[in-house]
Amino acid sequence: MSVIHGFRRAVGLARRGAQAGRGPDGAKVDLAHPARSPLGTAVVNCAVYRNGVRREGHRTAAEAIGYVRRRPGRGFVWIGLHEPSEEEFAGLAELFGLHPLAVEDAVHAHQRPKLERYDDTLFTVLKTVRYVEHAQLTSTSEVVETGEIMVFTGPDFVVTVRHGGHGSLGPLRESLEAQSEHLAKGPSAVLHAIADQVVDHYLDVAAAVRDDIDEIEALVFAEAGARRSEPGQIYQLKRELLELKRAVAPLDRPLQQLSETAMPMIDPDIRRYFRDVADHLTRVSEQITGYDALIDSILQANLAQVTVAQNEDMRKITAWAAIIAVPTMVCGVYGMNFDHMPELGWTFGYPLVLTVIATACLLLHRGFRRNGWL
């Protein structure tokens, strides 16, 4: 409720200054220069696009959306933010009429991938992933790092909110600006490009995780004497794969909705592009499912090897115990100190007993070696 309360408090301030190009605190808003904006360093970029071409000039958010709405046609505003606070986001939320529940999700993050519609605005949550390079996989290695991108898509605006230290949209923005024909289709083109980039990163991370799986598999089935893997390494890799699965699997339904359901915010031509993204997501989901099954098999094989090694150790211990039992038994018999025992007074009794003991031990040792126990 604190988010909604703060949102409503900022609404009154923003309403009085939005049309004048001023923020909630009355200061002039300059989203092109975040250091001079009440949104602070959260703002990454603010741009106006018309017919797929970026319009130069430094504008506040109110001026930018006003410029677009005074010129009906294929124009929209794209504002990008990185980890904004409640206060930083309140002014934009009021200006674009964003729903408080979606605003709360965007500020606090830690959401599942989803697609929600609030009147004429779509709220999309995407999980970003990054492969963490490491010299050697250990039981504590971080393999997959996740972040989030929230996208508010309206008739004439796109607001992106990014959480995490990766998944920058700067290169994507530059790439889109070089494709003016595609960008001219409006905010839905931006949403598609973001979803496409996120899913492509899924494929890259899945390929890198496969290399880790291959390395672990080679260690598990390495020859005796070579460095072997530990169950902790395999279990850690399985946990990191589960992290990737949590980012990928829930996105299937939102992409199906974007590709199959007619929505006024989504250009009909862009819907076809979402089908391609959905196909790529299906492919990476199948790969992750296969990797998960493979890691289970590797873990079972590793545990089986441990069990076999323990059985071999037990057989060796048993064999040596049987060999040692021979002199122990003989010495125990002749240590009973009775007066009348066989061969006690015989000159060759002692060397004969030693010979019998040595012969019996050698025969047992030879038999155990022949059977693979030693």
What 3-state class would DSSP assign to 365? Answer: helix
Give the model's pLDDT for residue 226. Answer: 59
pLDDT of residue 225: 56
CA nearest to 3, candidates 144, 98, 142, 126 = 98
- Contact at 8 Å (CB) between 160 and 151? yes
Tokens standing for residue 81: 């933010």
Beta strands in 112-197 (DSSP E): 114-118, 121-131, 144-153, 157-163
**Pairwise CA distance, residues 155 & 310, whole Å:** 67
Cα dist from 54 to 37, 51, 75, 184, 186, whole Å = 21, 8, 9, 10, 12
The domain over range 309-370 is classified in CATH as 3.90.1150.10: no
| pLDDT tens digits in sequence order for the chain, 374 residues long | 333 334 333 333 333 333 333 333 333 333 334 333 444 556 778 889 988 899 887 677 888 888 888 887 778 999 999 988 888 888 889 989 999 999 999 998 888 999 999 988 999 999 999 999 888 888 788 889 999 999 999 999 999 999 988 888 989 999 999 998 889 999 999 999 999 999 999 999 999 999 999 988 888 887 665 566 678 888 889 999 999 999 999 999 999 999 988 888 888 889 989 999 999 999 999 999 999 999 999 888 888 877 877 888 888 888 888 888 888 888 887 777 777 777 777 777 778 888 888 888 888 888 888 888 87
Per-residue model confidence (pLDDT) at position 22 = 38
The identity of residue 221, as a single letter, is F
CA 10/CA 8 separation, integer angstroms: 5
Q: What is the spatial distance between Cα 241 and Cα 253, in angstroms, rounded to a whole number?
A: 20
